[in-house]
Each structure stands twice: as C-alpha cells, then as structure tokens.
Structure 1
Amino acid sequence: MASEDLIEVKFRLADGTDIGPSKYSPATSVASLKGKILAQWPKDKENGPRTVNDVKLINAGKILENNRTLAESRLPVGELSEGVITMHVVVRPPLSDKSSEKLQDDSPKAACCSCSIM
C-alpha cells in the first residue's frame, strides 16, 4: 500500500494532551484504533481506560462504532489528504461498586439549609 493512502490521525484526550499522530490504513477498524489508544495511554494519567469498551472515539461530532473501518468513519471534509485528523477520546468512568452504593443510600440524609440573610 502506498504511503499516500494512509490516513494520519491523532487522538485528543480530555485534558488536551494528544496521542500520536500516527498513520493508519483506511481498512483499520475503530476497535483496533481503540486498542492502540489503550497501549499508548500515558501512564501518569488517572482514570485510564481498562478495556476497548471503556473508550469512545468522536470524529466530527459523531461517535465511531467499533465494527466500522477508518475509511467508513471518516467524514469527507474537502478531501484532507495532507491534514491530520483529530479524534477526541472519551473514557467511560469506572462503574461504582453496588455494595458501596447501597451503603450510601442507607445512610441518613442530613437536612441542610442554604438560606442567606442580607
């Protein structure tokens, strides 16, 4: 495959840092892109994704589906052959433990007032 056919993509994390840019084949699946994000996730970041299902990729306001390829997911924006495509990465927060939720629900709610007298 010629290098002109490759698509250059970088992944923007929520804090504004980037992973990449790297070049990918148009036949690369979204799921494999998510796998590459997991492998390259910065070790110093808190709340990193654990699995591919914890990651959502957004391109041009659309959430990309795992079973689609990069070519199918790419929106034609004036045929950006030389530009880098920025995809935003959203990490699903870890699910909380149901037993800890129950403990919180059983605790009595403290009544509080937020009145202000001026």
Structure 2
Amino acid sequence: MAKEELIELKFRLFDGTDIGPNKYSPSTTVGTLKELILAQWPKDKHNGPRTASDLKLINAGKILENNRTLAQCRVPVREISGGVTTMHVVVRPPLSDKNEKQLADSPENRCLCSIL
C-alpha cells in the first residue's frame, strides 16, 4: 500500500502575512482547513473572522467549497514535488444584525463577483 503524500500549504492573509506552511493530507476538507486557519489567526490582526464561515479560500483563481477535499480541489502542488502551495484567505466583512436582516430581505442588494 502506497504512503499518502502530504500537501504543504500556506495561507496568505489580506495584509500579505502568512499562516503556515503546514502539511495536510489530501483527504483534508476545505471546511477543516478553515477551522484550522481560524484557530491559528493572529490575535493582533483587526477585522479578523468570527467563524470559519466568514472565510473564503482561493486557490488558482477558484473559491474552494467546504465539503471538497484537497485531492478533489486538484491542488497543483503535485506538479512541483516538495513545493509549497499558497492559498489566499478572504474574510467576509462583518455586518451588523440590522444589515444582515436587510440583506436577507432585499435580493436587489446582493452582488456577485467573478474571478477570471
């Protein structure tokens, strides 16, 4: 039985600082990575995430889905043996309770973003 090759990742925050690098199993889900990032979030950073759902992970221009594994996301580290893959971390801006209710009740206030 072949030994599973670990994937080395680091996470780039909005200000250019990094969390990691650390090694992860290809079977690790994106949701698990978000929980780990939240636990390792620098305490001195302002406007940090409150929950893991406030985070978005971006790799190779694609927003990664929580239920997918690293292997399913086709993290391109396998092409560079021993290389570190950098994923970008985006934090959803905090909304007040009033703003959240307003957005939920008003579909015309929603926006979409595409990364090409």
Q: Identify whether the pair has TM-score above 0.5, normalized to the shorter chain.
A: yes
User: Which structure's CA Rg is the greater one?
Assistant: 1
Please report the TM-score for the alignment, with normalisation by the length of structure 1. 0.77
Which residue of structure 1 lines up, in the alignment, with residue 92 of structure 2? Answer: 92
Which residue of structure 2 lines up, in the alignment, with residue 66 of structure 1? Answer: 66
For structure 1, the residue ranges without an aligned partner over 5 or more in a row are: 103-118
Matched residues in 2 for 1:82 and 1:27: separation? 18
Task: Encode CA deviations 1:13-67: one digit per residue, 9 max, x unaligned.
Answer: 0000000000000000000000000000000000111111100000000000000
Which residue of structure 1 lines up, in the alignment, with residue 28 of structure 2? Answer: 28
Matched residues in 2 for 1:96 and 1:63: separation? 25
In structure 2, give the amino acid aligned to 1:42.
P
TM-superposed CA distance for 1:78, in Å, is 6.9
Matched residues in 1 for 2:33 and 2:71: separation? 12
Which residue of structure 2 lines up, in the alignment, with residue 15 of structure 1? Answer: 15
Q: Does 1:43 align with 2:79?
A: no
**Range 36-45 or range 66-75, more displaced:** 66-75
Verify the 8 A CA contact 1:59 1:74 in the aligned structure 2.
no
For structure 2, the residue ranges without an aligned partner over 5 or more in a row are: 103-116
RMSD: 2.1
Tell me the percent identity.
Answer: 75
In structure 2, give the amino acid aligned to 1:12.
R
In structure 2, give the amino acid aligned to 1:61.
G
In structure 2, give the amino acid aligned to 1:40.
Q
